[in-house]
Amino acid sequence: MPKIKQINHVAIVVEDIDASLAFWHDALGLELHEMRDVPVEKSKIAFLPVEGGEIELVQPTADDSGIAKYLAKRGQGMHHICLEVDDILGMLAQLSAKGVRLINEQPRTAPDGKRYAFIHPESASGVLVELYQLARNNPGAIC
């Protein structure tokens, strides 16, 4: 049976990563581990590790992206919580069998081999939930 291992990250959608870093990095002192463009998601992400997980700042890079639409509709703020799982295919099958509405019925694969899928907020008390399964050959991989 698939299991949740831990909270991997909390993602926050922002209009401007550099402006947001004034708080998260400069004021709070969180280390900026990496800044990455993610063309397939039409976004740019800043990774700020904290013990046991990460804060991810997500900025849209195109007006037609899902992140841009979310930002236009809801404004800046928490976008999703990501749960690391040991078996993403098993977890998606289990959730589907229980009638959970999935955004991704099959996981996507990131360039680092990590697999991910989203659960619709309608099934999770209004919270967008992302599931991650880290690549087996890269256990510390982050997206």
Residue showing tokens 């930002």: 71
User: For residue 81, is it within any domain?
Assistant: yes
CATH code, 107: 3.10.180.10
Q: How many alpha carbons fall within 13 Å on the CB side of residue 69? A: 5
User: For residue 66, is it within any domain?
Assistant: yes
Task: Inform me whether the pLDDT recorded for 142 exceeds 80.
Answer: no
What distance in Å separates the CA atoms of residue 131 and residue 134, rounded to the nearest whole number?
A: 10
**pLDDT tens-digit readout, 120-136:** 999 999 999 999 999 87
User: For residue 143, is it within any domain?
Assistant: no
Domain that holds residue 21: 4-133
135 closest CA partner among 106, 105, 115: 115
Q: What is the DSSP string of 3-35?
A: -EEEEEEEEEE-S-HHHHHIIIIIIT-----EE
What distance in Å separates the CA atoms of residue 123 and residue 35, rounded to the nearest whole number?
A: 31
User: For residue 140, is it within any domain?
Assistant: no
In the chain, the amino acid numbered 89 is L
User: For residue 17, is it within any domain?
Assistant: yes
User: For residue 93, is it within any domain?
Assistant: yes
- pTM, two decimals, is 0.86
**pLDDT tens-digit readout, 18-77:** 999 999 999 999 999 999 999 988 999 999 999 999 999 999 999 999 999 999 999 999
User: For residue 82, is it within any domain?
Assistant: yes
Structural domain total, the chain = 1
